[in-house]
Amino acid sequence: MDDEKPTPFADLVTGAVWLAVAIGIVVGASRMDRLEHLATTIYTMPGLVPGLLGAALGLMAVILMVRALRAGALRAGALAEARWRHIRLTDHWSLIAALVLSLGFAIALVGRGPPFWLGAAIYMALMVFAFQYGDRRRAGTRVRGAAFAVAFGLVSGLVIHFAFQDIFLVRLP
């Protein structure tokens, strides 16, 4: 790993991406059920914390973008100075695996397929198995690792379902 600082242009692009993510979080949080039928206050609605976190993320993104603009992100030649490194996918397999599994969970499982607890269990089991696979293969305990991943997935799927459905009163798909 090198200690090079990102260029101002890279900071500007990164800030814009994080701002888009933050806006998506705030919009999603604002569309969550407000539990008005339970006469709840604004402080107990399910979307409050995600909305505040999204707003904080958006604020940090704007700060990053302003800092990048002050450092000359849009001056002539800034794009040419940006160091576009060759990205080797094998160096970032864990990021790619997490992205693929998370998008698969959100797109294919939530609200379309199995009940939420089972979808969450499948997602958690696959995540645990994927991230422990290298260590389990070297130790010769892949079957044990798979059994652990399935057990962990089932327990966490049930706990997640119980916590959201019965404690936080969030209707799950």
Banded model confidence at residue 80, pLDDT cuts 50, 70, 90: low
Could you tell me if 112 and 45 lie in one domain? no
Structural tokens at position 32: 């969550």
Could you tell me if 163 and 98 lie in one domain? yes
pLDDT at 113: 79
Banded model confidence at residue 65, pLDDT cuts 50, 70, 90: very high
Specify whether the CB–CB gap between 169 and 40 falls below 8 A: no
Could you tell me if 163 and 113 lie in one domain? yes
* pLDDT, tens digit, 9 for 90 and up, residues 91-126: 778 888 999 999 988 888 777 778 889 999 999 999
Residue that is written with structure tokens 């997490």 in the block: 98
* pLDDT, tens digit, 9 for 90 and up, residues 66-78: 999 998 888 877 6
Banded model confidence at residue 2, pLDDT cuts 50, 70, 90: low
Lowest mean pLDDT across 8-12, 82-86, 169-173: 82-86
Mean pLDDT for 16-27 is 95
Specify whether the CB–CB gap between 56 and 18 falls below 8 A: no
Mean pLDDT for 52-58 is 96
Structural tokens at position 29: 């949080």
Could you tell me if 76 and 156 lie in one domain? no
Could you tell me if 39 and 99 lie in one domain? no
Three-state DSSP string of 137-156: HHHCCHHHHHHHHHHHHHHH
Mean pLDDT for 48-56 is 93
Residue with more model confidence, 159 or 33: 159
Q: How far apart are CA 129 and CA 150, in angstroms?
A: 8
Could you tell me if 79 and 106 lie in one domain? no
State the helix-helix crossing angle for 142-162 and 116-139, rounded to 10 degrees: 150
pLDDT at 16 over 90: yes
Chain center to CA of 141? 29
The domain total for the chain is: 2
- Predicted model pTM: 0.63
Structural tokens at position 107: 């797109």
Could you tell me if 60 and 99 lie in one domain? no
Full residue range of the structural domain in which residue 112 is found: 90-173
pLDDT at 47: 82
